[in-house]
Structure 1
Amino acid sequence: MRRDPADAAPVVFDVPRSGAEYPRWFAASAPLDLIQKSISSYVEALYRDVTDAGATWLYACFPNVVVDPNRHEADIDPDQLNGMWHEELNPSEKTKAGMGLFPHVVSNQALHAGKLTLEDARRRLSEYYLPYHEELARILRMAKESAGVAYHLSCHSMGATPPATAKDAGVRRSDFDLGDRNGTTCEPGLVDSVAACLRRQGYTVTVNKHFVGAEAVRRHGDPRNSFHSLQIEMNRSLYMNEKTREVSENFQQVKSDMTVLAREVVDYARSRSR
């Protein structure tokens, strides 16, 4: 789903991992309440009004348990398929933990009773993953052609604290963690502008601490050619109860603050446009 502003700046806010529209053919052995926990709930709503600031809003309606747009298309565990894949695979540590392109573990439970068929896997790529990335790339190309530069903010949410298996388990994460893959996906000015705006609004901000940025910014960020991509991870405790999964009384304030952030990024982008 895409929302376009009346006077578009070369800025796109994309929300790739908050979808909850399951395909009719999707089948899982895990309970729905556990599956839903893997979704970055409400992020699309928090950023929905960025169009009021002049930014484009792009949202993947499909759940990341169908196929994860924030994973590389070769990030597949060959053991989860019922046959040989047509290209070389490169499973990451996330995939080995069950959280790859085709997730197969949710809340330490198996997502599917058996292996994925090759037909099923290809359908997830061709009908969901690739069209989403192609549309995001198209919007960024058009922005670059028009303004000479394109800015991409990939919007996500993170748990308030790391999982129990992490070294820093139990320690509250920052309100926002910005990821540019250690300075490789966008110019420093974009990071500084976003961080400064969030801090002015009273939030704590870290950079490349909890999440350095995954496939969305890696795939679309190319600062040498004026494509700048930054991942934004928001602490879920700011706007929702992680146990009940209901929005908190602070939700509307956070939503308003994200529109302020969009205005900051749009102003920054227009100052850098030709």
Structure 2
Amino acid sequence: MIESYQLTQGDTPLLISMPHAGTALTPEVEAGLNKAALSLADTDWHIPKLYNFAAELGASRLEARYSRYVIDLNRPENDTPLYAGATTGLFPSTDFDGEPLFEAGQEPTKAQRDWAKAYIWRPYHNALAGELARIKERFGYALLFDAHSIRSKIPRLFDDQLPDINLGTFDEQSCDPDLSQTLQAVCAAQSRFTHVINGRFKGGHITRGYGDPANHIHAVQLELSQRTYMNEPSDEQPIFAYREDRATEVRPLLSGLLEAMQRWGEVSYNKGK
């Protein structure tokens, strides 16, 4: 069995979580997925590579190893729905387009799902909670940035084309409203990429479950349109391919958002917030 996550500890109050970057499959899931699903289309492709500048910022990084088709780390363990309308759950049976993932009769058994909870979901969340606790003990507060990406056009999930930058703060419940406004200002200061906050994606289980501004833990989710850094199905080149030319353009904005979070924390907590 491979490790379910990789944690790299930094030396600042910022932790970047990447729960959907994994592509590993258990033997049972790999055997059960249909041919189309084996492409792992709903992966947050190349997120660790895109955020490879995070080490220079001193941020901690937590990267998932297993695919969300095995178990979705951004869903609650009891599988309570997070969004009204079309969505996927803790153990997805369809992809984002609503197409079945598994061959008939080959869906994971209860025993296999219990194993995934015990050996993939809980270890990731234990590591996440532990790192936030370590950071808060050292600095007095913690900043959590949950990094995601998604195709820009998925009619089943949202109308038209998704904005490039989709920030989620659970309607300003997962972080201080001033931090939310600070990040909006960073996006508004540039014109290359479209942006929205608390639109279709307000933040999943990690943002909602760990963001606790009253206790000095501030969580933000970014759902990044994949057209900003890779090929999508509409491109003529192979899909899911990383595009350094595009990544080079969007990376300064990503860095700007993370640096703004760090500056906000330094200023706010130096003032005794």
The bucket for the TM-score relative to the shorter chain is 0.7 to 0.9
1:125-274 alignment runs, 5 A limit: 125-163=117-155, 165=156, 169=159, 171-202=160-191, 203-243=193-233, 244-248=239-243, 249-273=245-269
Q: Contact 1:55/1:266 (CA < 8 Å) preserved in 2?
A: no
Question: More displaced, 215-224 or 30-39?
Answer: 30-39
Question: More displaced, 230-239 or 16-25?
Answer: 16-25
Percent of paired sites with the same residue: 26
Change (3 A) 1:247 1:2: same
Q: Per-residue CA shift, 1:42-81, capped at 9, x if unaligned?
A: 1222123212112111111111111001111111xxxxxx
Q: Could you tell me how far apart the structure 2 residues matched to 1:218 and 1:91 are?
A: 13
Whether 1:31 and 2:35 are equivalent positions in the alignment is yes
Gap regions ≥5 residues in structure 1: 76-89
1:68-79 alignment runs, 5 A limit: 68-75=72-79
Aligned partner of 2:12 in structure 1 is 9
Q: Contact 1:70/1:214 (CA < 8 Å) preserved in 2?
A: yes
Q: Could you tell me how far apart the structure 1 residues matched to 2:9 and 2:256 are?
A: 17
Q: TM-score normalised to the size of structure 2?
A: 0.84
Number of corresponding residues: 254
Q: TM-score normalised to the size of structure 1?
A: 0.84
SS at match of 1:151: strand
Report how far residue 93 of structure 1 moved: 6.5
Q: Contact 1:20/1:61 (CA < 8 Å) preserved in 2?
A: yes
Change (3 A) 1:261 1:72: same
Whether 1:51 and 2:55 are equivalent positions in the alignment is yes
Q: Per-residue CA shift, 1:185-219, capped at 9, x if unaligned?
A: 11112222222223334332211112111101111
CA RMSD after TM alignment: 2.2
Q: Could you tell me how far apart the structure 1 residues matched to 2:162 and 2:82 are?
A: 24
SS at match of 1:128: helix
Whether 1:61 and 2:50 are equivalent positions in the alignment is no
Q: Could you tell me how far apart the structure 2 residues matched to 1:233 and 1:141 are?
A: 25
Change (3 A) 1:225 1:119: same
1:63-102 alignment runs, 5 A limit: 63-75=67-79, 90=80, 99-102=88-91
Change (3 A) 1:92 1:187: closer
Q: Contact 1:105/1:111 (CA < 8 Å) preserved in 2?
A: yes
Q: Contact 1:54/1:266 (CA < 8 Å) preserved in 2?
A: no
Q: Contact 1:98/1:105 (CA < 8 Å) preserved in 2?
A: no
**What is the letter of the counterpart of residue 29 of structure 1?**
L
Q: Could you tell me how far apart the structure 1 residues matched to 2:82 and 2:108 are?
A: 18
Q: Could you tell me how far apart the structure 1 residues matched to 2:181 and 2:258 are?
A: 14
Q: Could you tell me how far apart the structure 1 residues matched to 2:168 and 2:231 are?
A: 24
Gap regions ≥5 residues in structure 2: 1-5, 234-238
Whether 1:122 and 2:119 are equivalent positions in the alignment is no
Q: Contact 1:150/1:228 (CA < 8 Å) preserved in 2?
A: yes
Q: Could you tell me how far apart the structure 2 residues matched to 1:146 and 1:224 are?
A: 18
Q: Could you tell me how far apart the structure 2 residues matched to 1:155 and 1:50 are?
A: 12
Q: Could you tell me how far apart the structure 2 residues matched to 1:184 and 1:263 are?
A: 21
Q: Could you tell me how far apart the structure 2 residues matched to 1:142 and 1:92 are?
A: 28
**What is the letter of the counterpart of residue 138 of structure 2?**
S
Q: Per-residue CA shift, 1:80-117, capped at 9, x if unaligned?
A: xxxxxxxxxx46677x9672101111243322232432
**What is the letter of the counterpart of residue 78 of structure 2?**
A
Higher relative contact order at CA 8 Å, sep ≥6: structure 1 or structure 2? Answer: 1
